[in-house]
Structure formats: structure tokens, C-alpha cells
Amino acid sequence: MFLQIFPHRMKRLIAPAKEHGLKVLMHTDGKLDGILPILYEVGIDANHPVRTGIERHRRGQEAVGRKNGADRQRPHAAAGVGSKDEIDAKVKEYCAKLGPGGRMVCGSSTSIMDGIPPENFVAMIRAVHKYGRYGNLGVG
């Protein structure tokens, strides 16, 4: 039923944005491994958020094989746990492994989650600025 209804309606819904050359980002929750290709097929350029799990993200990027758009990754999990050095290393890993091809935007998720120490969030933001620039991904 999903495949009979969703793709056709979604294409009509986003058509005005596409006609004006705009990118379309869709916010979703949950496990989307099987749905991401359908979202991109109907014209969605980016999905927010894609849950953490670096190998799953790489497989998703390979399955979709897009060169435009962005799968928003969530390295916020790194901001909640560990030392500043551990956060730095995790963000560096995300940027190096998921950034090539231009399909990643580092972000905090839909919000800064309760229980994340402010200093850890700041450490994550600094690491994103340090490692997350295209042309210099994962290099400090």
C-alpha cells in the first residue's frame, strides 16, 4: 500500500519546489534502510536525521549512490559520552568515512539531547569545524 500511495503523492507535493530548483529535505524518524532509495527516487534530496552507525550509513550511501543531496548524519552520540579527545576522534571518523561524495551534513540531531554536557557539545562543534570541510575531510 505504501508503494501505491506514497511515491505518487510525494512527487506531486514536492513538484513546486523542484520546478524552482530547490532542494527538498525530509524529516523522518525510525529505521529507514529500505525506504531511503524510495525517498531519493521521488525527488527528496536529503533526509534528516539518519541514525548513527557508520557502517550502516556507508552501505546506505552506496545503495543510493547519489552525488547530490545530503544524508544528514548524527554524530551527536559522540557528544554525549567520553572525553573531548574521544569526541574529537569520533567526529573525525564520521567526517573521513561519510563525507566523501558530498552527502553528509554533521548536526546535533533534531535537538541537543538532555544529558549531553555543554562542554561535550562544544567539543563536537569544534571537531566538525576542524574535520568537516570538504576537500579536507578527516584531516586536522
Residue 136 lies in a domain: no
Q: Is residue 30 pLDDT above 80, yes or no?
A: no
**Sequence-distant (≥ 6) Cβ neighbours of residue 90 within 8 angstroms:** 75, 77, 78, 82
Residue 138: inside a domain, yes or no? no
Domain holding 96: CATH number? 3.20.20.210
**Structural domain contains residue 119:** yes
Tens digits of per-residue pLDDT, 31-88?
A: 777 787 888 899 988 877 655 554 455 555 555 554 444 444 444 445 566 889 998 9
Q: Are 70 and 101 in contact (CB under 8 A)?
A: no
Provide the domain limits for residue 36: 2-131
Angle at 53 between CA 50 and CA 56, to 5 degrees: 80
Domain count of the chain? 1
Compute the average pLDDT of residues 97-104: 75
Whole-number pLDDT of residue 72: 41
Residue 139 inside a domain? The answer is no
DSSP character at residue 42: H
* pLDDT tens for each residue of 105-117: 777 666 777 778 8
Report if residue 34 sits inside a domain. yes
Per the domain annotation, does 109 fall within a domain? yes
